[in-house]
Amino acid sequence: MTWLMALFPVSLAYGAPATPPAPPPDAPMPVVQVDGLADPDEQPYRRMLKGMDAFERYHALAPDAQLRFRLYPRRPGVKVAGTRLAIQGDKLPLVLDDDLAFTLPRNAQALQDDAQVTTNRHARSFAWAPDVRTPGLPPSTRRLGDLRLECEIDRAATLLVGYKPPLYHVLDAAVDVCTVFPGAWLYYGERALFNVTLVHGQRRQSLLSNWLYGNSVPTIFHLFYDFYPLLGERTYSLKISDSSWPDDTLVELEYIDDEVPSTSPAQAGAAS
């Protein structure tokens, strides 16, 4: 994924007259209709469709889950209220849930037209991510197989922005990096995180602080990642290629603002 490339459009005109001919006095003025922003936050429909194909291909990782995509506000001042999303300008409006998640329909015309999935907010306002959730999980809990499937979807759709080392690209060309790449993958909680714990049966393992808040990424690179600047406190990293943790492993998320269970006087006396 390239994040240091800038494209500068250049217009060249050859053989054009210095002054265009004036229209007849009674000719109507041309009307230019502008839909949305000049620099909207958007993603290619074709690329997101590849993510949907990956969801079907690797659905066994989360057989009971459905695929949504989700927007995470990542910059100060992004106005969430009134955010709209559509394919091909406003031709195919999409429904945004309260958590800014949405499902994407398959549309042959949009694919043929190389359409964009476009918001009415400025570029880089949001982090875009797949959202795969097995129903029936406890609150504040993710399932490792769901997160592994999100990796496969993003590998195909390349929605998440960030630096990927040369080793990643070498592996990606030859193998499934989601199962082989030794590095960690970034995910977002709902709010500022306090702790993340992997749980399978009697086995429990809490993440060290270097796997929280984007700390697994060198600080000098934070600027180039989606979690910067607002999502850092919600970010955690997992080595999803570690096969010692099966797909049914639960990922328990504890948040800084979670209420601490109160201790009754009897319990306090027993503890003392």
The three-class DSSP label of residue 119 is strand
How distant, in Å, are the alpha carbons of 19, 104, 265 from that of 16? 8, 44, 88
> Is there a contact between 202 and 255 (Cβ–Cβ < 8 Å)?
no
Phi-psi region of 218 (alpha: psi -120 to 50; beta: other; left: phi over 0): beta
Domain ranges of the chain: 41-257
Count of positions (residues) in the chain: 272
What pLDDT is recorded for position 129? 98
Q: Which two tokens stand for residue 160?
A: 């998440």
Give the model confidence (pLDDT) of 66-117 as tens digits.
999 999 999 999 999 999 999 986 789 999 999 999 999 999 999 999 999 9
The pTM assigned to this predicted structure is: 0.81
Whether residue 196 has pLDDT greater than 80: yes
Q: Which two tokens stand for residue 58?
A: 């690797």
Whether residue 137 has pLDDT greater than 70: yes
d(CA 228, CA 221): 10
Q: Between 180 and 132, name the one with better pLDDT.
A: 132
Nearest to 178 by CA among 134, 248, 243: 243
Give the model confidence (pLDDT) of 138-189 as tens digits.
999 999 999 999 999 999 999 999 887 787 778 788 889 999 888 899 999 9
d(CA 48, CA 104): 8
Give the model confidence (pLDDT) of 4-52 as tens digits.
322 323 232 323 333 344 444 444 433 333 345 889 999 999 999 999 9
